[in-house]
């Protein structure tokens, strides 16, 4: 061994460059695989902590638990800890409602996730702790000890304005933020929903308990996630199944999926996993691609060095060394290179990972390092150190099998002589040069790796930028994601240069009767105040299905007969209205600016019937009997004496053309979806006529001067109420910028990794190729080929590979595109047949989804629908959305790869002259 | 007789400072056109260095190498390469054939580099004269030493150079093959009127030359 080490040392000290290249190949492979493993762990950790933010530190939340069920649960084995929280009602801010409640016991507090920013949790009746965003949404600067007033709805639906003393402010990181969230997140069992999530507004236990109706039970098999448990499988059978057998709605916390995974337990109707996100899929795909590319680089490196090395070992054989000793040298050599390359690779990968985390951190992502992870994560991900080390060892061994076998079989010098197949003489210098350089196998592998790099880059680009998405019948993507981003209430703020948009709550509607409540929408006063500062486009739709009634169907104009309203028999005043003929016609309020757009001049005291393309069912002078009613929120009822029948007389009839709708964003926003006609008037005229609480539901503010976001806020905020929210264009632009930059950063990091490895790998391979052929190159120079010509031909021989790769990728993309387009066309054709079969005359402008079950098996539409479902579920049909615009990305990344390889080639051949002049290597 | 190559104060030093090795010192020598000249000297005397400088294979530390009126050391690499492939033929001790190419491809390679169409009649005559016409499709590893050297000579002569520079062309061959190669070189020189400059340390071989240039410790001691 000592002698072998000595020989190795002597040989490689004379060939430091080659040794470095070989180590570099292993190093690159290790860096890429370790980085990818780190990234995977980071992503899993990120998701895990997101679960924590959402659900807290528990496994299950079981809703609507009765006392008896509570007893049953308490008797279950393997429950380490349990706690209860109480829900007692909700508080509404704007359009959202937030669950109120309290911890029922200490465990409830410990296991939930309620970070306090300041103050303390409520302990006495009359105290309240709320998340910070609620105070912001309420537009109050309330501090600890101040009195705060909210509209509270208890579990029986009774609403009242109540005051509490603010005793604590919770972080916005709190879980279970609002009902929108809760309704979707909480119902863990299909078909079962719960009205209330775990609370995010906290009362004292006494105050909440007085109205307790729902109980959340929290179970935690562990105090934390950071230890392993051998009893996971038992949880599944002894604990989880009985929980589900209770039949209550269940929310899964972050530990639940351990059980579902480790015991292969199907929890209820779903198996919970954290890995099935797009990010994870993309990361894994990238990991595989990077591993393949790096393996090819490693293989190229080893193969390039081998001929030289074998010649050297052959000489040792000649001086008496046994084949076994030679194999030993080879294995020792491999081990040393692998060790150095891997260790250095891991160290560098740690550095790269830190840089990636720093970039993510700048973009607001928490730093979840991938080196070590919670036990839970280690169960889901492979070791970022062990797996790459094993893989690099395996690949290194695989690529060395041939040379090792070759060395082991060495019989004599002649046995190892290079043999060539007979061939006729080539007449082309280019062909001869390629033969001199050799390495066709390596070139092919490099070509494959470049095809992978280019494909992955294109995929990444199209994926992250959404630029590959098109519109389709499948509605799986949106063509103009970025444009839609700026659309508020059907108006694109950016295109129309709107500085700020207000959105109000629409008046409540019920059972086909137009009902107002006094707390809804943007007031006329607010719009008037803002009109002094800016141009305001405001409109409101007063109960979208505002009711027009006639004594009988015959009295109604025929043109509106299709908009008949069905009365809900559950409604308390059903009996009174059931014999009337009711129709739904929108009543729309416009402010002066909008009236001017519609009529050419401001109109203050007129009732206008607006119809599309002159199909108005009413004429000027017609009387329209309209019903209005006032909703009493406190009583949750519509008092009968508030119902009024208000006949309005048509003063003006306006026909609105499609051209007007196409050219005017505001008219389009209000009247674009008009079916038949609408009755239009100003808010003040509606009040004069006797309508309850008319208001605007949308207002767009266009300031005439440059105005800052802060100034807009100062103007708008005093006018806001609980039911009115606002967004500024600059806020949206900022958000869009963050999204875009995040996407760009993601792409950049991805491409940097790809391209850096590609670049270094190429430099390395070209250098090795040059070193291996340096004698031949020198010979060419001796017989008259200039160094410039040698460099040119070397660079070209290298550049041919990316050219081939770009061509092959283009061909693959084209084939894939054609293939997918055929599938998509098939789907579109089936969809057309289906829609025509069901008599949808609006297709393709509108279409309806039909499940297979909706058709009889003997119906032709059944087979069509089955084929459609099969197509939709089959391989990557959804990715037809990636196909509309791949060629820009192809040109872009093809060029980048070409430039990178060219630069790598130019840099690598830069010092070729000096290399050729090293005499000891030449003659 | 007209001089085909003249050197003026040609010096070549490897390394610098105390480690400097003066391979060639202030060498002034001229070579007559159409002659068979031998450069002799002991190992390390600088004869190969001189030959490489004469052929533009190496750069001089100072001095000039002139072909007629043309100083090749002032040329850039592209000009020098072009000059070399058109005016100079090289024959090396270790043949320097490219193993990946057949004998025919090796021979024709200089013409391909120069983008010149080969004169097939000349090529046929040359290979027949050198006795390798039946070995043209073989790779160097499939040829004997003498055949490889004859292939190398064919490659050197394919573009009909004015000067043939031979660096111990028989050094790697047995005496019989060596003599055959020498005879061939002599015959080619006589038939084609070329100047042949040959480096050797073999006194017998040198004695067959028209002129002998002796070099010792990097200096011309006898011309």
ipTM score: 0.77
Question: In chain A, what residues touch B109 (CB-CB under 8 Å)?
Answer: 429, 432, 780, 783
Query: Minimal Cα–Cα distance from B35 to chain A, Å?
Result: 22
In this predicted structure, the answer to whether residue A731 has a pLDDT above a threshold of 60 is yes
Q: What is the CATH number of the domain that holds B195?
A: 3.40.50.300
Query: What pLDDT is attached to residue A701?
Result: 92
Residue of B nearest to A434 (CA): B100
Question: In chain B, what residues touch A425 (CB-CB under 8 Å)?
Answer: 102, 104-105, 108, 136-137
Of A500, A93, A478, A29, the closest CA to residue A293 belongs to: A29
Phi/psi-derived region of residue A111, left when phi > 0, alpha when psi is between -120 and 50, beta in every other case: alpha
Distance of CA A494 to the CA centre of its chain: 23
Question: In chain A, what residues touch B58 (CB-CB under 8 Å)?
Answer: 917
The residue among A258 and A657 whose pLDDT is bigger is A657
* CA angle in degrees (0–180, nearest 5) for A69-A75-A81: 95
Identity of the residue in A418, A429, A917 whose CB atom sits nearest the CB atom of B112? A429
Handedness of CA A825, A829, A832, A838 (dihedral sign): negative
pLDDT digits (tens, 9 = 90+) for A414-448: 433 444 455 555 667 777 777 777 777 778 888 88
Residue of B nearest to A436 (CA): B100
In this predicted structure, the answer to whether residue A539 has a pLDDT above a threshold of 80 is yes
Contacts 24+ apart (CB under 8 A), B125-132: B126/B154, B126/B157, B126/B158, B127/B154, B129/B184, B129/B187, B129/B188, B130/B154, B130/B184, B132/B103
Encoding tokens for residue A736? 């869009």
Banded pLDDT at A591 (limits 50, 70, 90): very high
pLDDT digits (tens, 9 = 90+) for A118-127: 899 898 888 9
Percent of residues, chain A, with pLDDT higher than 70? 70
Question: In chain B, what residues touch A429 (CB-CB under 8 Å)?
Answer: 109, 112-113, 115
Question: In chain A, what residues touch B77 (CB-CB under 8 Å)?
Answer: 786-788, 913
Of A649, A646, A724, A725, the closest CA to residue A692 belongs to: A646
Question: In chain A, what residues touch B23 (CB-CB under 8 Å)?
Answer: none
In this predicted structure, the answer to whether residue A261 has a pLDDT above a threshold of 50 is no
Whether A426 sits inside 8 A of B105 (CB atoms) is yes
Query: What pLDDT is attached to residue A857?
Result: 80
Query: Minimal Cα–Cα distance from B214 to chain A, Å?
Result: 23
Whether B137 sits inside 8 A of A435 (CB atoms) is no
Query: What pLDDT is attached to residue A472?
Result: 45
Of A839, A883, A884, A834, the closest CA to residue A859 belongs to: A834
Whether B85 sits inside 8 A of A784 (CB atoms) is yes
Whether B78 sits inside 8 A of A786 (CB atoms) is yes
Query: Minimal Cα–Cα distance from A738 to chain B, Å?
Result: 54
Residue B139 contacts A, CB cutoff 8 Å:
yes
Residue A774 contacts B, CB cutoff 8 Å:
no
Using CA atoms, how far apart are residues A37 and A109, in angstroms rounded to an integer? 36
Residue among A421, A435, A776, A784 with most chain B CBs within 10 A, to mutate: A784
Identity of the residue in A428, A788, A923 whose CB atom sits nearest the CB atom of B92? A923
Q: Tell me the average pLDDT across A267-287.
A: 49
Q: Tell me the average pLDDT across A521-536.
A: 88
Q: Kindly provide the b/e burial profile for residues A513-525, where b requires at least 16 CB atoms within 10 angstroms of the residue's own CB.
A: bbbbbebbbbbbe
Banded pLDDT at A87 (limits 50, 70, 90): confident
SS3 A249: coil
Residue among B78, B108, B113 with most chain A CBs within 10 A, to mutate: B113
CA atoms within 13 A on the CB side of B157: 27
Helices (H), A694-786: 709-716, 729-772, 774-782
pLDDT digits (tens, 9 = 90+) for B155-202: 888 888 889 898 888 877 777 778 888 888 888 888 888 899 999 888
In this predicted structure, the answer to whether residue A212 has a pLDDT above a threshold of 60 is no
Whether B105 sits inside 8 A of A438 (CB atoms) is no
Residue of A nearest to B156 (CA): A783
Identity of the residue in B94, B100, B156 whose CB atom sits nearest the CB atom of A436? B100
Identity of the residue in B58, B104, B156 whose CB atom sits nearest the CB atom of A425? B104
Query: Minimal Cα–Cα distance from A416 to chain B, Å?
Result: 12
Residue among B44, B99, B111, B120 with most chain A CBs within 10 A, to mutate: B99
Q: Which segment of A294-298, A448-452, A788-792 scores lowest on mean pLDDT?
A: A294-298
Residue A425 contacts B, CB cutoff 8 Å:
yes
Banded pLDDT at A711 (limits 50, 70, 90): confident
Query: What pLDDT is attached to residue A708?
Result: 84
Whether A780 sits inside 8 A of B92 (CB atoms) is no
pLDDT digits (tens, 9 = 90+) for B40-96: 888 888 888 888 888 888 888 889 999 888 888 888 888 888 888 888 888 888 888
Query: What pLDDT is attached to residue A64?
Result: 66
In this predicted structure, the answer to whether residue A336 has a pLDDT above a threshold of 60 is yes
Q: Give the burial class of A702: count Cβ atoms within 10 A of its Cβ; 0-12 exposed, 13-18 middle, 19 or more buried.
A: middle
Most confident of A36-50, A282-296, A306-320, B136-150: B136-150
Query: Minimal Cα–Cα distance from A317 to chain B, Å?
Result: 20
The residue among B221 and A376 whose pLDDT is bigger is B221
Residue B114 contacts A, CB cutoff 8 Å:
yes
In this predicted structure, the answer to whether residue A55 has a pLDDT above a threshold of 80 is no
Q: Tell me the average pLDDT across A854-865.
A: 84
Backbone angles phi, psi at A795, to 5 degrees: -60, -45
The residue among A272 and A788 whose pLDDT is bigger is A788
Query: What pLDDT is attached to residue A330?
Result: 77
Residue of B nearest to A439 (CA): B100
Query: What pLDDT is attached to residue A681?
Result: 94
Q: Give the burial class of A573: count Cβ atoms within 10 A of its Cβ; 0-12 exposed, 13-18 middle, 19 or more buried.
A: middle
Question: Which of the 8 DSSP states describes residue A568?
Answer: P
Using CA atoms, how far apart are residues A198 and A111, in angstroms rounded to an integer? 12
Question: What is the residue-averaged pLDDT of chain A?
Answer: 74
In this predicted structure, the answer to whether residue A412 has a pLDDT above a threshold of 70 is no
Query: What pLDDT is attached to residue A181?
Result: 35
Residue A914 contacts B, CB cutoff 8 Å:
no
Whether A786 sits inside 8 A of B96 (CB atoms) is no
Whether A786 sits inside 8 A of B80 (CB atoms) is yes
Banded pLDDT at A347 (limits 50, 70, 90): very high
Residue of B nearest to A776 (CA): B98
Q: Which segment of A286-295, A450-459, A589-598 scores lowest on mean pLDDT?
A: A286-295
Total domains, chain B:
1
Residue A163 contacts B, CB cutoff 8 Å:
no
Banded pLDDT at A594 (limits 50, 70, 90): very high
Using CA atoms, how far apart are residues A329 and A125, in angstroms rounded to an integer? 82
Query: Minimal Cα–Cα distance from A736 to chain B, Å?
Result: 56
pLDDT digits (tens, 9 = 90+) for A4-25: 677 777 777 777 777 787 788 7
Domain of B137, in residue numbers: 3-222
Residue A426 contacts B, CB cutoff 8 Å:
yes
Distance of CA A391 to the CA centre of its chain: 31
Count CB pairs under 8 A between chains A and B: 88
């Amino acid at each position: 061994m000592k002698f072998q080490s000595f020989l190795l040392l002597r040989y490689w000290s004379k060939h430091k460059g080659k040794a470095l290249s070989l180590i570099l190949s292993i190093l690159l492979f290790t860096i890429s695989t370790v980085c990818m493993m780190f990234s995977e762990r980071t992503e899993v950790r990120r998701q895990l902590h997101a679960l924590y933010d959402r659900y807290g530190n528990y496994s299950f939340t079981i809703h609507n638990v009765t006392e008896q069920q509570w007893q049953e649960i308490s008797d279950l084995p393997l429950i380490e800890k349990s706690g209860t929280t109480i829900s007692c009602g909700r508080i509404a801010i704007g359009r959202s409602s937030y669950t109120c409640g309290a911890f029922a016991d200490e465990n409830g507090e410990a296991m939930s996730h309620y970070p306090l920013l300041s103050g303390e949790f409520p302990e006495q009746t009359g105290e309240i702790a709320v998340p910070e965003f609620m105070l912001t949404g309420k537009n109050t600067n309330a501090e600890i000890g101040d009195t705060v007033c909210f509209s509270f709805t208890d579990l029986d639906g009774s609403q009242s304005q109540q005051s509490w003393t603010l005793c604590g402010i919770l972080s916005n990181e709190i879980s279970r933020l609002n009902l929108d969230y809760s309704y979707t997140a909480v119902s863990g069992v299909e078909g079962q929903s719960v009205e209330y999530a775990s609370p995010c507004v906290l009362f004292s236990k006494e105050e909440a308990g007085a109205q307790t109706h729902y109980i959340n039970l929290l179970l935690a098999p562990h105090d934390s996630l950071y230890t392993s448990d051998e009893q996971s499988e038992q949880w599944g059978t002894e604990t989880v199944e009985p929980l589900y057998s209770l039949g209550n709605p269940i929310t899964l916390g972050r530990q639940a999926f351990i059980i579902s995974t480790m015991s292969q337990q199907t929890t209820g109707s779903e198996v919970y996993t954290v890995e099935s996100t797009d990010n994870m899929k993309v990361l894994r795909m990238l990991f595989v691609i990077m591993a393949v590319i790096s393996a090819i680089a490693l293989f190229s490196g080893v193969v390039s060095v081998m001929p030289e090395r074998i010649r050297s070992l052959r000489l040792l054989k000649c001086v008496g060394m046994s084949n076994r000793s030679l194999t030993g040298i080879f294995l020792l050599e491999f081990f040393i290179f692998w060790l150095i390359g891997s260790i250095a690779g891991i160290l560098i990968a740690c550095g790269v990972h830190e840089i990636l985390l720093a970039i993510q951190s700048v973009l607001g992502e928490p730093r979840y390092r991938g080196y070590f992870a919670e036990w839970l994560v280690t169960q889901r991900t492979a070791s970022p150190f062990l797996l790459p080390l094993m893989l690099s060892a395996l690949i290194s061994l695989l690529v060395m099998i041939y040379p090792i076998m070759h060395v082991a079989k060495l019989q004599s010098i002649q046995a190892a002589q290079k043999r060539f197949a007979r061939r006729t003489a080539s007449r082309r210098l280019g062909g001869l040069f390629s033969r001199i350089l050799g390495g066709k196998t390596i070139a092919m592998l490099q070509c494959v790796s470049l095809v992978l790099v280019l494909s992955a880059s294109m995929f990444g680009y199209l994926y992250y930028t959404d630029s590959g998405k098109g519109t389709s019948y499948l509605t799986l993507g949106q063509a103009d994601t970025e444009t839609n981003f700026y659309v508020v209430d059907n108006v694109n703020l950016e295109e129309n240069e709107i500085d700020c948009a207000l959105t109000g709550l629409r008046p409540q509607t019920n059972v086909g009767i137009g009902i107002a409540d006094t707390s809804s929408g943007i007031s006329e006063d607010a719009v008037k105040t803002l009109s002094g500062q800016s141009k305001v486009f405001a409109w409101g739709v007063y109960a979208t299905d505002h009711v027009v009634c006639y004594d009988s169907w015959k009295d109604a104009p025929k043109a509106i007969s299709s908009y008949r309203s069905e009365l809900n028999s559950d409604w308390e005043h059903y009996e009174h209205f059931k014999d009337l003929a009711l129709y739904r016609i929108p009543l729309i309020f416009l402010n002066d600016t909008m009236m001017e757009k519609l009529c050419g001049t401001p109109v203050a005291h007129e009732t206008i019937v607006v119809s599309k393309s002159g199909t108005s069912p009413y004429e000027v002078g017609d009387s329209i009997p309209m019903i209005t009613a006032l909703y009493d929120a406190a009583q949750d009822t519509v008092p009968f004496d508030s119902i009024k029948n208000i006949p309005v007389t048509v003063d003006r009839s306006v026909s609105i053309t499609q051209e007007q709708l196409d050219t005017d964003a505001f008219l389009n926003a209000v009247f674009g979806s008009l079916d038949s006609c609408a009755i239009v008037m100003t808010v003040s005229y509606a009040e004069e006529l006797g309508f309850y609480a008319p208001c605007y539901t949308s207002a767009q503010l266009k300031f005439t001067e440059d105005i800052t976001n802060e100034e807009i806020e100062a103007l708008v905020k005093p006018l806001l109420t609980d039911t009115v929210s606002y967004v500024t264009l600059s806020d949206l632009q900022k958000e869009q910028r963050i999204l875009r930059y995040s996407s760009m950063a993601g792409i950049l990091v991805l491409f940097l990794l790809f391209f850096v490895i590609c670049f270094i790998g190429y430099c390395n391979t070209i250098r090795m190729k040059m070193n291996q052929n340096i004698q031949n190159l020198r010979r060419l120079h001796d017989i008259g080929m200039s160094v410039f010509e040698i460099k040119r031909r070397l660079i070209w021989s290298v550049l041919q590979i990316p050219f081939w790769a770009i061509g092959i990728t283009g061909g693959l993309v084209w084939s894939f595109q054609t293939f997918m387009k055929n599938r998509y066309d098939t789907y579109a054709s089936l969809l057309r047949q289906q829609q025509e079969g069901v008599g949808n005359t609006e297709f393709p402008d509108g279409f309806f989804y039909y499940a297979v079950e909706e058709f009889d098996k003997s119906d032709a539409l059944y087979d069509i629908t089955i084929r459609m479902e099969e197509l939709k579920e089959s391989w990557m049909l959804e990715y037809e959305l990636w196909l509309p615009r791949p060629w820009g990305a192809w040109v872009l990344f093809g060029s980048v790869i070409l430039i990178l390889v060219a630069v790598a080639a130019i840099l690598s051949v830069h010092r070729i002259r000096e290399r050729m002049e090293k005499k000891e290597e030449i003659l | 007789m007209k001089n085909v190559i003249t050197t003026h104060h040609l010096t070549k030093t490897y390394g610098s400072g105390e480690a400097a090795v003066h391979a060639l010192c202030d060498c002034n020598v001229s070579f007559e056109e159409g002659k068979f000249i031998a450069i002799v000297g002991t190992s390390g005397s600088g004869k190969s260095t001189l030959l490489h400088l004469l052929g533009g294979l190496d750069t001089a530390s100072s001095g000039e190498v002139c072909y007629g009126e043309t100083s090749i050391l002032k040329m850039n690499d592209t000009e020098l390469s072009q000059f070399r492939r058109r005016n100079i033929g090289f024959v090396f001790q270790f043949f320097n054939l490219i193993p990946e190419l057949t004998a025919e491809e090796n021979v024709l390679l200089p013409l391909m580099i120069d983008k010149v169409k080969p004169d097939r009649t000349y090529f046929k005559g040359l290979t027949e004269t050198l006795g390798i016409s039946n070995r043209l499709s073989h790779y160097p590893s499939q040829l004997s030493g003498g055949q490889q050297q004859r292939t190398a000579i064919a490659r050197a002569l394919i573009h009909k150079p004015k000067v043939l520079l031979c660096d111990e062309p028989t050094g790697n061959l047995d005496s019989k093959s060596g003599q055959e190669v020498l005879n061939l070189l002599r015959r080619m020189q006589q038939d084609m009127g070329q100047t042949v400059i040959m480096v050797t340390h073999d006194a017998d071989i040198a004695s067959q030359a028209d002129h002998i240039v002796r070099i010792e410790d990097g200096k011309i001691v006898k011309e």
